Amino acid sequence: MNVSDVSKAERVARLRAFLMAAMAVILVVTAWLGFGDGAADSARPWVRHVGWAVMILLWLVILATGGGLRLSRSVRRVMNDEVALANRGSALRLGFWTAMAGALALYAASFSLDLNLRDGLRLLVNFSIAAALARYAWLELR
Amino acid sequence: MAERLGNVLLALRAERGLTQAALAEMVGVSRKTINTVENGVFVPSTLLALKLARALGQPVETLFHLHENEE
């Protein structure tokens, strides 16, 4: 382990946390703005749907692995050390409970609102991942 | 009875003239990890505790001790 690896890992980890915070905001804003589009979505280009799915999968992979897969093993080891793993665990737990609470809220709302399945799923996924990303960013940057 | 892990990491590191960054490099973790362990925010694994002890040339029980607080 050399100094440049440790400082590079810290730099990348900080950048990762900033990106996660920014992505959390983007996910919440797009979920909010896009809500209600579900019924009209079928007529929209498939690129929009695939783009959303790819973006979600990408952030799920980053949440699961810590990202930086193209970096050297020693840099990734420092980026994903014990504290980073503990922070990620905490973030994933919050994401899970946000998903559960969101699912229950949508279930309850479905009795009084005419909810589109696609709208509901997008809202649930965006908010859950945003919660996990925001929690991770906050724990890393505090 | 609430228990928490105390440590003398900061004192031992300072005694040896090591910065957090230098100790982090020796152990292979980030500076943030050293900082959170020193401040008692993060309880390290046995593996990390042993690595810290080896880097500072002390037995692990010298570095860490239990604080027992009556609640």
The residue of A3, A78, A80, A141 whose CB has the most chain B CBs within 10 angstroms, and thus the best one to mutate to test that interface, is: A78
Separation in Å, CA of B29 to nearest CA in chain A: 5
Instruction: With a cut of 90, say whether residue A33 has pLDDT above it.
Output: no
Instruction: With a cut of 60, say whether residue B55 has pLDDT above it.
Output: yes
What is the average per-residue pLDDT within A82-87? 96
Residue of B nearest to A84 (CA): B33
Instruction: With a cut of 60, say whether residue A39 has pLDDT above it.
Output: no
Instruction: With a cut of 60, say whether residue B71 has pLDDT above it.
Output: no
What is the average per-residue pLDDT within B11-23? 95
Residue of A nearest to B33 (CA): A83
Within the 21-50 window of chain B, which residues sit less than 8 Å (CB to CB) from chain A? Answer: 21, 24-26, 28-33, 36, 42, 44-45, 48
Cα B59 to Cα A104: distance, rounded to the nearest angstrom: 51
Q: Could you tell me the CA-to-CA distances from B60 to A78, B14, B28, B43, B45 in Å, in that order? A: 22, 17, 17, 13, 12
Q: Which of B28, B31, B42 sits opposite A1 (nearest CB)?
A: B28
CB distance B28 to A75 below 8 Å: no
Instruction: With a cut of 90, say whether residue B6 has pLDDT above it.
Output: yes
Phi, psi at A22, each rounded to 5°: -65, -40
What is the average per-residue pLDDT within B48-64? 96
Identify the band that residue A56 occupies on the pLDDT scale cut at 50, 70 and 90: very high
- Cβ B31–A10 below 8 Å, yes or no? yes
Phi, psi at B69, each rounded to 5°: -105, 125
Percentage above 90 pLDDT, chain A: 73
Residue of A nearest to B26 (CA): A1
Cα A62 to Cα A56: distance, rounded to the nearest angstrom: 10
Instruction: With a cut of 90, say whether residue B68 has pLDDT above it.
Output: no
Cα A35 to Cα B34: distance, rounded to the nearest angstrom: 44
What is the average per-residue pLDDT within B19-45? 94
Q: Which of the pair, A33 or A44, is modelled with greater confidence?
A: A33
Cα A127 to Cα A125: distance, rounded to the nearest angstrom: 6
- Cβ B29–A13 below 8 Å, yes or no? no
What is the average per-residue pLDDT within A59-68? 93
- Cβ A82–B44 below 8 Å, yes or no? yes
ipTM of this complex prediction, to 2 decimal places: 0.84
Contacts of B24 in chain A (CB under 8 A): 6, 78
